[in-house]
Amino acid sequence: MRVVFATAEVSPIAKTGGLGDVAGSLPKALQALGHEVTVFMPYYRQARHWFEKNGAAVHQVMPTVTIAWANWSAEATFLRSVLPGTNIPLILVANDFFFERGQIYQGLDGFDDFLQRYTFFCRAVIRGCELLDIAPDIVHAHDWHAALLPVYLHSGLRGSPNFANARSVYTIHNLNYQGVASPDAFAVTGLHSRYLAPDALEHFGTINPMKGGIVFADEVTTVSPNYAREVQSPQLGAGLDGVLRAVSHKFTGILNGIDVEEWNPATDRLLPARYDAVHTAAKLDNKRALLKELALPYAPERPLISAVSRLVDQKGFQLLIPVMDQLLDEGAQIVILGSGEPALEQALSSIATRHPESCRVWIGFDNALAHRIYGAADMLLMPSIYEPCGLNQMYALRYGTVPVVRLTGGLADTVIPFEGSNQQSATGFGFAGSDPWELYGTTRFAMEVFTDASVWKSLQRNGMQADFSWDRSARQYDAIYRRAFA
């Protein structure tokens, strides 16, 4: 099938989270199944910098065009490149007013014009397909930024020859970000007033693009089976649980994958020493090297606990901070890499200052350092309050770094908790509540199990042998695409 991906982020060109990772990896696996994929994304300042830094080819494919809809118009310049490491076409939509900004999702001079920006992006995807003679079988729209594409298909876009046979698949990456806007902004969409209704985009007096994508897409997916169940409950449905229950017949959770070529401890050139599930001894060499880099004492009998994450409430660091001193006092070494909310950054940094012999906190992000941490650490903490899918726990499992997670969303789909009698299948440790002392108790249990080398090696081996490749996910998306035509 001919598939058009419409996404606000593509890794490694411009990303803030898992959406970019999916858009950078899933098209490769779909191509391997025989699909013809074209990816559209905005040409942000960050994307321009990436192409300049990496010397990757990007060229304008036609003169700048004016895109008009309703009472709006804006200029679009279409640039062509390829998804890094592939021959998959990547079409970048350039407009300096909308996308030449300091941050990917930054408003303009304090004014949040997000609906206007991404409505323009959706209209540019449509016009780009028409001008470049792309006639998709599947329009795969990702998150709220592209949610209007299924609505446009429903509202008459199939009258265009390029979209006459198109079906839509809409993927929710994080339900908590819905693009909600004032009803006064509805005019920017260019849609008929019929779509300003409770069975369309109107949602409790607001305009909700994500709701429109859910209602009008032929198929709806999200990024893990457990998250698909959770978001149909009032507790985690972010106000859309009723809508999702109403479309449950077309709503499927498909677990994200990871790039198993980039994330492979047997070939990872960013590691001082490489290893695999059978020969894990070199992991200790990585631990020794990282601790030397951190100016921390090498003590193989002490568990090295890590966290690589955005430092925000969603990730559950407010559960770790009250018990972190005690874990350090009881023998753990802890290294944290991430950035986010200033209060969390400051709290974690203060703890590291109190424990200079056993703790380090890096504020920021460094991909090479992240690889070294996964290759060296004994455990990874992910106490997320909610986690649609999560990728870090999959990286950790792949590297024999045993995860300690809160059993929510995709974490519950990917980590099998050790319960004392399931050594042959368990891959990590888990807790269900949101009390810091549950995190503490589960981590202390993991620290005790760490002292039993035989059991620990079983947990490492089980995790390293699990299949989190995009091949598995792509086969499920292939089934969804075919079902859209059924």
Residue 358 token pair = 């056993």
- Read off the pTM: 0.92
From first to last of the 486 residues of the chain, give the pLDDT tens digit: 999 999 999 999 998 888 999 999 999 999 999 999 999 999 999 999 999 999 999 999 999 999 998 888 999 999 999 999 999 999 999 999 999 999 999 887 667 899 999 999 999 999 999 999 999 999 999 999 999 999 999 999 999 999 999 999 999 999 999 999 999 999 999 999 999 999 999 999 999 999 999 999 999 999 999 999 999 999 999 999 999 999 999 999 999 999 898 899 999 999 999 999 999 999 999 999 999 999 999 999 999 999 999 999 999 999 999 999 999 999 999 999 999 999 999 999 999 999 999 999 999 989 899 999 999 999 999 999 999 999 999 999 999 999 999 999 999 999 999 999 999 999 999 999 999 999 999 999 999 999 999 999 999 999 999 999 999 999 999 999 999 988
pLDDT at 9: 96
Residues 6 or more apart in contact with residue 217 via CB below 8 angstroms: 141, 150, 168, 169, 170, 250
Residues 6+ apart with CB under 8 A from 54: 84
Q: Which two tokens stand for residue 70?
A: 């309703």
Residues 397 and 427: beta-carbon distance below 8 Å: yes
pLDDT given for residue 234 in this prediction = 97
Is 250 within 8 Å of 220 (Cβ atoms)? yes
**Percent over 90 (pLDDT), the chain:** 95
One CATH from 3.30.365.10, 3.40.50.2000, 3.40.50.10490, 1.10.10.10 for 2-257+470-484 = 3.40.50.2000
What pLDDT shows up at residue 106? 87
- Boundaries of every domain in the chain: 2-257+470-484, 282-464
Q: Is the dihedral of CA 360, 366, 369, 371 positive or negative?
A: positive
DSSP assigned state of 350: H
In this structure, is the dihedral angle defined by the CA atoms of residues 94, 98, 100 and 102, taken in order, positive or negative? negative
The one-letter code for the residue type at 297 is P
The β-bridge partners of 338 are 309, 363
Closest by Cα among 303, 376, 308 to 340: 308
Tokens at 335, concatenated: 């290294």
What's the order of all strands across the beta sheet hosting 402-406? 359-363, 333-340, 304-311, 379-382, 402-406, 429-431
- Are the folds of 2-257+470-484 and 282-464 the same? yes
Residue 53 makes CB contacts below 8 A (sequence gap 6+) with none
Q: How far apart are CA 150 and CA 146, in angstroms?
A: 8
H or E element in which residue 245 lies: helix 241-246
Domain 282-464 has CATH 3.40.30.10: no
